[in-house]
Amino acid sequence: MTADAAPVVAESDVVVVGGGSAGVAAAVSAARNGVSVILVERYGCLGGMASGGMVLVLDDMANGREVTVRGLCTEYISRLDKLGLAKYPGPDEWGADPVSVRRWTRWGASDFHFSGTPKPICYSVAFDPDGWKRVSLDLVREAGVRLRLHSWSAGVVMEATRVTGVRCLTKAGFQELRGQVVIDTSGDLDVAAAAGASFVHGRYLVTTVFRLGSVDVEAAERHWDEQPREAAMLNRRAKLILGGAWENWWLRTPLPGVVWCNCPHLSGYDGIDPESQTAAEIAGRDRIYALVDYARSALPGFERCFVVDVAPQLGVRQTRLLQGEYVVTMADIAGRRHFVDSVARGRDYYTPYRALLPREVEGLLVAGRHYSAEPQAQRVSREIPPCMSMGEAAGAAAALAVEQNVAVRDIDVAVLRRRLRAQGHDPGDVPSANASPASED
């Protein structure tokens, strides 16, 4: 079977391509708004970077004490909480109180945008990757989304400039899935790029994330309390072996004795070039195994540690970025610029609907880390909660377009925002006190 002669195996109102945090949010949001939805994912589980990439802290969802990313993100947190698979500080623990800082820093709840030390504690949630997969699957099934795993979108079906479906590579050969609206949540803009939408090819650090088990976390923390200079010296050595890591290269997880290592970071690799991806996987593993040897021999609390897993998905932060109807700039993010068509939020920044819309292609929306932004701006606005926020907005927008039988670029954004509010999402229609006012462009 060739890609040109693929059978149409399923049709729905909306086809969402990519089952990461943005894709699940888009699919569930669209289905809850009353349209039929197919969700396509290349791997055997949902979550993308939040599960297969083992990115295990939700952050960038609060503007000071105001929680800005709500809706489906809040649903995930409460479901994970009920499973005992989420851990986060309460509002009374946010801030710079030393007891709180001591308790929560190793959970990754520090405000990493704060330049001084110690960094204050903010609203952030540490979670378990398999818990994320489970909650994603529950949400998708409860919403009635038709899930197609093990299906790799490898081409688009077009009618002139309109996308009408995707062509997936599967073990059963090529298969076509058709939809009135397609949402690209592949993270790498696979669908929009294939359809001819403009993009830039960005790059940033990639990381082979891993977890260590059998760590005596209390002993490790006690060593920092009792012998901070020695602990800092040993930590510097560990970071040298890793060759790229944040200051706290290991963080606690909800699983006893298991720590999350968001490292080693590797620069100069390309997340959509197989040769480069292969080289990154190998270079990362070499550093991990060297680190484990060192940790077992030198780090208090790590004497019996072992590798639980290296993330099955390479930690890719940035590849293709849409250059859509509006391209979000660094000045927009840094200046907390509000937009008249804001439909999604991150920490203290806003995402206009136009940043989810390709310029040249019809029937297509994008959401997630490949949204329309300058590379510098995307680096600081692509955490999991804002990606979910964009997904939730895109799903509801697609449903609205189908319901009203209009092009996605012609929907009434005011109606969309009212619907998003009603479903618990904050579209950023009401700017916070520290926002810069919107202008018309």
Ligand X SMILES: Cc1cc2nc3c(=O)[nH]c(=O)nc-3n(C[C@H](O)[C@H](O)[C@H](O)COP(=O)(O)OP(=O)(O)OC[C@H]3O[C@@H](n4cnc5c(N)ncnc54)[C@H](O)[C@@H]3O)c2cc1C
Should residue 264 be labelled a site residue for ligand X when binding is judged by CB under 6 A? no
Cis peptide before 358 (omega within 30 of 0): no
Among 15, 37, 387, 408, binds ligand X (CB under 6 A): 387
Q: In the structure encoding, which two tokens stand for residue 76, read together?
A: 């995930």
As measured in angstroms, the least distance from the Cβ of 68 to ligand X is 13
Interface region with ligand X, contact rule CB under 6 A, candidates 212-220, 312-320, 329-337, 342-350? 312-320
Q: Which is nearer to ligand X, 300 or 352 (CB)?
A: 352
Min CB(289)–ligand X separation in Å:
19
Taking the alpha carbons of 198, 200, 201, 206 in that order, is the dihedral positive or negative? negative
What per-residue string of b and e applies to 4-24 under the rule 16 or more CB within 10 Å gives b?
Answer: eebeebbebbbbbbbbbbbbb
Interface pick for ligand X out of 59, 341, 362, 392 (rule CB under 6 A): 59
Which positions from 61 to 100 touch ligand X by CB under 6 A, shown as an x/- string? Answer: ----------------------------------------
DSSP assignment, residue 433? Answer: T
CA 50 – CA 102 distance, rounded (Å) = 26
Cβ proximity to ligand X: between 223 and 369 the closer is 369
From candidates 301, 352, 358, 368, binder to ligand X by CB under 6 A: 368
Q: How many CB atoms are closer than 10 A to CB 43?
A: 17
In terms of DSSP bridges, do strands 162-170 and 152-159 run parallel, antiparallel, or are they unpaired? antiparallel
Residue 15 or 435 having the CB closest to ligand X: 15
Residue nearer to ligand X on the CB measure, 58 or 361: 58
Which among 30-38, 142-150, 274-282, 381-389 is the span making contact with ligand X, rule CB under 6 A? 381-389
Distance of CA 104 to the CA centre of its chain: 22
Q: Structure tokens of 332?
A: 């927009």
Among 15, 62, 139, 316, binds ligand X (CB under 6 A): 316
The correct pick among 300, 315, 363, 428 for binding ligand X (CB under 6 A) is 315
Least distance CB 153 / ligand X (angstroms): 4
Q: Does 129 bind ligand X (CB under 6 A)?
A: no
Q: How far apart are CA 93 and CA 303, in angstroms?
A: 32
Q: Which residue is nearest to ligand X (CB)?
A: 20
351 contributes a contact to ligand X by CB under 6 A: no
Per CB under 6 A, the list member of 133, 287, 347, 382 interacting with ligand X is 382
Stretch of 36-44, 192-200, 212-220, 338-346 contacting ligand X, by CB under 6 A: 36-44
Would you call 282 helix, strand, or coil by DSSP?
helix
Q: Compare residues 153 and 234 and give the one whose CB is closer to ligand X.
A: 153
Among 13, 14, 15, 18, binds ligand X (CB under 6 A): 18
Q: Largest Cα–Cα distance in the chain?
A: 68
Q: How far apart are CA 440 and CA 165, in angstroms?
A: 33
d(CA 353, CA 407): 14
Report whether 132 contacts 139 (CB < 8 A).
Answer: no
At its nearest, how many Å lie between ligand X and the CB of residue 152?
5
Write the DSSP string, 172-241: TEEEEEEEEEEEE-SSS-HHHHHHT--EEE----EE--EEEES--HHHHHHHHHH-HHHHHHHHHHHHHH
Instruction: Indicate whether 19 belongs to the interface with ligand X (CB under 6 A).
Output: yes
Return left, alpha or beta for 55; rule: phi > 0 is left, psi -120 to 50 is alpha, else beta.
Answer: beta
Of 79-87, 187-195, 285-293, 430-438, the segment contacting ligand X by CB under 6 A is 187-195
Residue (363 or 368) nearer to ligand X, CB: 368
Contact between 55 and ligand X per CB under 6 A: yes
Q: Is residue 41 a contact point for ligand X (CB under 6 A)?
A: yes
Axis crossing angle, helix 21-32 with helix 129-142, rounded to the nearest 10: 20
Helices (H), 83-128: 98-104
Q: Encoding tokens for residue 358?
A: 């390709």
List 17, 343, 356, 397, residue binding ligand X (CB under 6 A): 17
Question: Per rule CB under 6 A, is residue 220 in the interface with ligand X?
Answer: no
x-or-dash string of contact with ligand X, 138-157, rule CB under 6 A = --------------xx----
Asked whether position 280 contacts ligand X by CB under 6 A, the answer is: no
- The residues of the shown chain that bind ligand X, judged by CB under 6 A, are 17-23, 40-43, 48-50, 53, 55, 57-60, 152-153, 185-188, 190, 207, 209, 262, 315-317, 368-369, 382-385, 387
